[in-house]
Amino acid sequence: MRIALVACGGRDTGGQPRPPAPAREVYDGPLFRARRRHVAASCDRWFVLSPRYGLVGPEDLVEPETERLVDLPRAWREAWTAAVLAELDEVCGSLAGSVVELHAGRAFCEAGLEHGLVARGASVARPVQGLGQGKQLAWYRQHRSDAVLS
């Protein structure tokens, strides 16, 4: 099984409240949209990683958020990671033999998430690791046709 975990990301709402909507629609920033298109075409399942909500399915109803994981204390991020891993265990069962793609920045990946996935027997792929936002967007554009064909 190939599972993707995608960091949330949206446009600034200018302080205007928005009603809850499916996560795949609420998070609407350009990088999130590019990631969403890629993983929807290339993975068996995918989830959103949200600082506020933890592990979120694409159809789960959420409200926009302004929290950024990178701005939160390391201890909080580590507790968040433990909760996300527990949610993943509950939703997916055993990850042994699965490939988990992380489409997220360092704050998401290095607070124990990658280590926790490997400890569960998953292989971890970080296809855009180390790339800035512009280069990530270019990577997703370049791999768009490949993802649609696979």
Contact status, residue 105 vs residue 32, Cβ threshold 8 Å: no
Tally of structural domains, the chain: 1
Model confidence over 60-107: pLDDT tens digits?
A: 999 888 788 888 888 888 899 999 999 999 999 999 999 999 999 888
For the residues 119-127, what does the mean pLDDT come to? 96
pLDDT at 149: 42
- Asked whether the whole model's pTM tops 0.95, one would answer no
C-alpha 129/C-alpha 14 separation (Å) is: 30
For residues 9, 15, 19 and 22, what is the CA-based torsion angle, rounded to 10 degrees? 0
For residues 102 and 118, the answer to whether their CB atoms sit within 8 Å is no
What is the per-residue pLDDT for 11? 59
**DSSP β-bridge partners for residue 48:** 6, 56
Partners of residue 125 on adjacent β-strands: 101
Domain containing residue 94: CATH number: 3.40.470
Q: Which domain holds residue 14?
A: 2-149
Task: Please write the tens of the pLDDT for every residue from 7-62.
Answer: 988 655 556 677 888 999 888 889 999 999 999 999 999 999 998 999 999 999 99
Tell me the HSE value of 47 on the side-chain side, using a 13 A CA sphere: 18
What is the average pLDDT across 1-9? Answer: 93
